[in-house]
Amino acid sequence: MLNPQISIVAPLYNETESFPRLVERLNAVMDTSPRTIEVVLIDDGSRDNTAVLMQQLALTDSRYHCVFLSRNYGHQIALSAGIAAACATEALFIIDGDLQDPPELLNEFFEKYQEGYDVVYAVRKKRKESWFKRMAYASFYRLVRSISYVDMPLDSGDFSLISRRVADVLNQMPEESRFIRGMRSWIGFRQIGIEYERDARLAGESKYSFSMLKGLAYNGIFNFSEFPVKIITRLGMFTIGIAVIYLIQTLIKRFIYHDVPQGFTALLFVIVLFSGVQLIALGLIGEYVLRIFFQSKGRPLYVVRDVIREKQRQPLPGL
Ligand code: UDP
Ligand code: MG
């Protein structure tokens, strides 16, 4: 479809099980909407049948615009590829491909856009996920919000509707370690949240492993905050303060009371403690250095293997 008003963008990684239901629900949304809509699906190097299903769909239904990445790049990069590929003239509706974010909310989100908001983000009222995951997310969002230099809303993920001009800005942001919900806040304009209940995954397991979630959390912290570096300086000043007090106390003991200082254990403890603190400090600085390292290579964010849309409607070789 050429120049649709809205693009629905959904990244997919091994989502064969939920795919038929996803298409059903997307079709229902498009059929009942008065607006012209395309769906941009991104295959993030799936190892199952997802790419084949996507190809079949895109070859028969011109509303689907499918992008196939050369390998698995991770959710944030796949989403960036989708945002870059979307042709919408008015707005992009960003959802997860596992149906945790109901596509039926499109109209409600679009109404806010028509009222003049450039970003309409979803705020999770309730999560149907494990107790541990809910707690981890809740504390993470609160931590990031308290130390970040951009005003990030609590409990909102990537599920959102963004205007064409916000998408254009996102496409111009070359940062390699992407935390899209943070970048979206950084862009500014008028933004508003809409509450919704996040559904449980329709099928399959979460594709985010613990270490991937940790990576995402690190991006949220180190890409949007200078707090970790500042805290090192403050800690340094604090310890120097304590050392000076201790020195004065020792001198008084030595020269006024003629008391020889003792305490080998205390000495060892302090050395070990501050070796640890110094290593942590190095690690924190290392996080920023690593980000400079990756960014300085200037590699593209992802490589597109194939695209199937309107004008290039041919089966892909090798699928
Ligand atoms: N996803 C992706 N690449 C990945 C991991 C996930 O494109 O490497 C997709 C996945 O198919 C889903 C969305 O990103 O549509 C969100 O992932 P997931 O449901 O695993 O995350 P969670 O909802 O558990 O945070
Ligand atoms: Mg999910």
Question: What pLDDT, in 10s, does the model give residues 243-291?
Answer: 888 888 888 888 888 877 677 777 887 888 888 888 888 888 888 898 8
Do 259 and 179 share a structural domain?
no
- Ligand 2 is an ion; residues with CB less than 5 A from it: 96, 98, 100
Say if 308 falls within a structural domain: yes
Say if 251 falls within a structural domain: yes
Do 287 and 146 share a structural domain?
no
8 burial (CB, 10 Å; 0-12 / 13-18 / 19+) is: buried
Q: Which helix (H) or strand (E) holds 217?
A: helix 210-222
Do 152 and 94 share a structural domain?
yes
Show the domain range for 162.
6-224+300-314
Q: Which helix (H) or strand (E) holds 122?
A: strand 119-127
Do 180 and 114 share a structural domain?
yes
Do 216 and 164 share a structural domain?
yes
Do 134 and 75 share a structural domain?
yes
How much is the pTM? Answer: 0.80
Ligand positioned closest to the Cα atom of 180:
1
Ligand positioned closest to the Cα atom of 129:
1
- Domains held by the chain: number: 2
- CA dist 220 and 157 (Å) reads 12
3-state secondary structure of 195: strand
- Give the pLDDT confidence of 43-89 residue by residue, as tens digits: 999 999 999 999 999 988 889 999 999 999 999 999 999 999 999 99
Do 244 and 170 share a structural domain?
no
Q: Which one, of 91, 117, 103, 124, lies nearest residue 10 by Cα? A: 103
CA 198 to each of CA 101, 160, 213: distance values in angstroms, whole numbers, following the listed order: 6, 13, 18
CATH of the domain at 128: 3.90.550.10
CA 37 to each of CA 34, 66, 183, 213: distance values in angstroms, whole numbers, following the listed order: 9, 14, 25, 32
Do 179 and 36 share a structural domain?
yes
Say if 319 falls within a structural domain: no
Asked whether 120 and 192 are in contact (CB, 8 A), the reply is yes
Pocket of ligand 1 (CB under 6 A): 11-13, 15, 44, 72, 74-75, 78, 96-98, 100, 206-208
Global ipTM: 0.94
Asked whether 182 and 152 are in contact (CB, 8 A), the reply is yes
Say if 98 falls within a structural domain: yes
